[in-house]
Amino acid sequence: MNPVKFYLVTDTHYFEPSLGASGKAFEDYMKKEQFFMLESSDIVKATFEKIAADDTVDLVLIPGDLSKNGEYESHKSFVKELNRLKEAGKKVFVLTAGHDYGEKSRAFVNDERIEVDGTPFKELREIYADFGYSQALAVDEATLSYISEIAPGVRLLAVNCDSEGNPKGKVDERLEGWIKIQLDEAKKDGCSVVAMCHYPMIPSVPVFDLVGDAKLKDWRRTASFLADNGVELILTGHMHIQSINEYVSENNNKIFDICTACLVGSPAKYRKIIIDGDALNVESINVPDFGVDTKGLTLQEHFDNQFAYSIRNRILDALNGGKGAAKALKGFGKKVLSDITLGGLGRILWIRVDDSIKKTKFIDFAGNLGVAIFKGDMPYSTDTPEGKAIAKVLKRFRFIIKKVEPKLSKNGVKVDLADMLLNTIYNNKGFSDNNAKLKLK
Residues that bind Fe ion (CB under 5 A): 11, 65, 97, 238
CA–CA dist 321, 288 (Å, integer): 41
**Measured from the CB atom, is 11 or 16 closer to Fe ion?**
11
**Measured from the CB atom, is 238 or 388 closer to Fe ion?**
238
Provide, rounded to whole angstroms, the least separation between the CB of residue 97 and Fe ion: 5
Report yes or no: 336 and 328 within 8 Å, Cβ to Cβ: no
Provide, rounded to whole angstroms, the least separation between the CB of residue 314 and Fe ion: 16
Provide, rounded to whole angstroms, the least separation between the CB of residue 73 and Fe ion: 19
Strand 233-236 and strand 192-197: pairing?
A: parallel
**Measured from the CB atom, is 162 or 232 closer to Fe ion?**
162
Provide, rounded to whole angstroms, the least separation between the CB of residue 210 and Fe ion: 18
Q: From 161, 156, 128, select the one nearest 142 (Cα to Cα).
A: 161
Provide, rounded to whole angstroms, the least separation between the CB of residue 346 and Fe ion: 36
Say if residue 254 is exposed, middle or buried (CB neighbours under 10 Å; 0-12, 13-18, 19+): middle
Q: From 170, 26, 197, 226, select the one nearest 95 (Cα to Cα).
A: 197
Say if residue 416 is exposed, middle or buried (CB neighbours under 10 Å; 0-12, 13-18, 19+): middle
CA–CA dist 291, 307 (Å, integer): 19
**Measured from the CB atom, is 259 or 280 closer to Fe ion?**
259
Q: Provide CB contacts within 8 A for 358, sequence distance 6+.
A: 341, 342, 343, 346
CA–CA dist 248, 326 (Å, integer): 49
Provide, rounded to whole angstroms, the least separation between the CB of residue 219 and Fe ion: 15
**Measured from the CB atom, is 38 or 137 closer to Fe ion?**
38
Provide, rounded to whole angstroms, the least separation between the CB of residue 366 and Fe ion: 22
**Measured from the CB atom, is 9 or 97 closer to Fe ion?**
97
CB closest to Fe ion, residue no: 65
**Measured from the CB atom, is 144 or 363 closer to Fe ion?**
144
**Measured from the CB atom, is 29 or 397 closer to Fe ion?**
29
Provide, rounded to whole angstroms, the least separation between the CB of residue 12 and Fe ion: 9
**Measured from the CB atom, is 143 or 182 closer to Fe ion?**
143
Provide, rounded to whole angstroms, the least separation between the CB of residue 262 and Fe ion: 6
Provide, rounded to whole angstroms, the least separation between the CB of residue 35 and Fe ion: 8
Report yes or no: 195 and 234 within 8 Å, Cβ to Cβ: yes
Provide, rounded to whole angstroms, the least separation between the CB of residue 11 and Fe ion: 4
**Measured from the CB atom, is 97 or 147 closer to Fe ion?**
97
**Measured from the CB atom, is 182 or 306 closer to Fe ion?**
306
